[in-house]
Amino acid sequence: MITYTLICAKGHEHSDTFDNYDDYRTQADAKTLSCPTCGSHDIEKGLSAPNVGKSAAPDIAPCGAPNGCMGGACGLG
């Protein structure tokens, strides 16, 4: 699934989710997409940043001390 920011001819923006780019293109070409604000079917895809998955941050103390700041191992606690 992919989410795109869509913009109508009047400048209204909204987001919609598609299976892939071809799914978006098929719906846009068929004019089946519509603006939820004004109902316009003249919709274009706006600029979108990719949604890149991130792994979880490691569970370590912000100061790097083995017992963490709350253990009094550094001056940050």
Residue 56 lies in a domain: no
Residue 24 lies in a domain: yes
Residue 68 lies in a domain: no
Residue 20 lies in a domain: yes
- Domain residues for the domain of 6 are 2-45
The percent of residues in the chain predicted with pLDDT above 70, rounded, is 61
pLDDT of residue 22: 94
Sign of the CA dihedral 33, 36, 41, 42?
Answer: negative
Residue 28 lies in a domain: yes
Residue 36 lies in a domain: yes
pLDDT in tens, 39-48: 999 999 988 6
CA distance 62 to 47: 35
Tally of structural domains, the chain: 1
The reply to whether the predicted model has a pTM over 0.85 is no
